Structure 1
Amino acid sequence: MNIREELEKRSGNQCELCTATGNLNDLRLKPSLTDTLDTNILICDTCKDQIDNPENMDTNHWRCLNDSMWSEHKAVQITAWRMLNRLKTEGWPQDLIDMMYFEDADLRFAEATGDHLSDDEKIIHRDSNGAILENGDTVTLIKDLDVKGGGNFTAKRGTAVRNISLVHDNAEHIEGRVEGTHIVILTKFVKKANAPQQS
C-alpha cells in the first residue's frame, strides 16, 4: 500500500482538516524529506490553496480546526497547530493553541516553518546573492565544501542540493542531502537555482 492509499484509508477519503470529500491531495509537512503517515496528511483543494497561499486565507473556513486539532494523528495535529498560529491575531485561535500539547521533538517540528512567529520575528534565509530561500528549494554550491562524517568527502562547486530544509532558528544554516549524506550548509555558500541576482 502506498502513502496515498494509506492516507485515504486513515482519513476515510475525506480532508483531514475540514472533512470535505472532493478533490483530495496528499501533502507532505515541511521540512520533512520523507513520506510517512507521521509527516503527510490528506487535504482538500480549499485547505491546500490557503496553506500554500496565505493571502487567500478565509478565517471562517478554519473554524474546522476546533475538531481536527484533536485528531489522534500527529501530522494532522501539527498542521492544525500551524494554521491556528497563522490565524492567532483573530483571537479565538489562541484559546485553541493554549489547549494543545506536543512532546518536545514534535513541537520543534511544528515550529520549523515559523508559522508561530509574527512577521517581524521570522528568520529570513538568503543565499549568497540575497535571494530568499524557502523549504523545498534547490540550491547550487558556489564553492567546494569539505563534508565531515559520512565518508569524509568534498562537495564540489556546482553541485545541486534539492529539497532543502531551513534551520528555523538560524538564518545562516540550511540542511540538505549531498551524495546521500544529510549535511548542514551555510547560506553564504549557495545560490538559489534560477533565482535572479539581487542588485
Structure 2
Amino acid sequence: MSIVKELQSRSGGVCELCGGSDGLTDFEVAPSDGSSETSVCICSTCRAQIENPDSMDENHFNCLNDSMWSEIPAVKVLTFRLLSLLNRQDLMDMMYLEEIERAWAESGIGSKSSVVHKDSNGVVLQAGDTVVIIKDLEVKGAGFTAKRGTAVRNISLVHDDAEHIEGRVNGTKIFILTKFLKKS
C-alpha cells in the first residue's frame, strides 16, 4: 500500500490538521524516514500555508486546538511546530508530548532569533513571564487605558522586534513596548 493511501486510510480521508478533504497529500515531518510514521495527511490549504509561513492565516489554524490532541506522533509534532510559528504559547503549554516527541518537534523549529527582549530595567524577558506596566498607556483602537501597576501574565515575545511583547490586558490581546514594563 502506498504511503498516501495508508495516510488517507489512517485519517479517514480528511486532513489530519483541519479536517478538510480538498487535495489531500502526504507531508513528511522532518527529519523523516519516508514512512507513514513520520508523515501526515494534509489538505492543499494547509500545505500552501505551511510552505509559505509569511502568509499564514491564523484563523485557518484554529483547527490546531483539536489536532494537538491527536494520538499520532507526527501530527502532534507538526501541530507543535505550527503553534510555535503562530506564537501560540498558550496552546503549546497545554500540549502533552513524550520526551522523544518534544525533541523531534523542537529539532524542526528553526534556531531562535538572536533578538533579546529586555524590560525597562534591562532584565531579560522570556515567553510566559509576568510583567507589570509602569506607566498608564492608552490602547489605540481598543478604547481603554492600561493602568500603571497592571500585571500582564503569560506574555509572548515578538520574534523580530526586541522592543515589543504581546499580552492580554482587560481580556484584549495587545502589543506593549518593553520600555513601559518591568518583570515581576
Q: TM-score, normalised by structure 1?
A: 0.55
- The residue that corresponds to 2:55 in the other structure is 56
Structure number with greater Rg is 2
Q: Which amino acid aligns with 1:7?
A: L
Give the CA deviation at 1:49: 1.2
- The residue that corresponds to 2:96 in the other structure is 101
Distance of 1:56 and 1:24 partners within structure 2: 20
Give the CA deviation at 1:37: 2.5
- The residue that corresponds to 1:188 in the other structure is none
Q: How many residues align?
A: 115
- The residue that corresponds to 1:16 in the other structure is 16
Partners of 1:49 and 1:56 within 8 A in 2: no
Give the CA deviation at 1:36: 2.0
- The residue that corresponds to 1:110 in the other structure is 105
Which structure 1 segments of 5+ residues have no match?
122-199
Q: TM-score, normalised by structure 2?
A: 0.59
- The residue that corresponds to 1:4 in the other structure is 4
Which structure 2 segments of 5+ residues have no match?
116-184
Distance of 2:42 and 2:114 partners within structure 1: 30
- Paired residues for 1:32-111 under 5 Å: 32=32, 34-88=33-87, 93-111=88-106
Moved over 6 A (4+): none
Output one character per residue of 1:130-185: Cα deviation in whole Å (capped at 9) or x when no partner.
xxxxxxxxxxxxxxxxxxxxxxxxxxxxxxxxxxxxxxxxxxxxxxxxxxxxxxxx
Give the CA deviation at 1:71: 0.9
Output one character per residue of 1:65-99: Cα deviation in whole Å (capped at 9) or x when no partner.
011111111111111111001111xxxx2221111
- Paired residues for 1:93-172 under 5 Å: 93-115=88-110, 118-120=112-114
Task: Give the RMSD, CA atoms, in angstroms.
Answer: 1.5
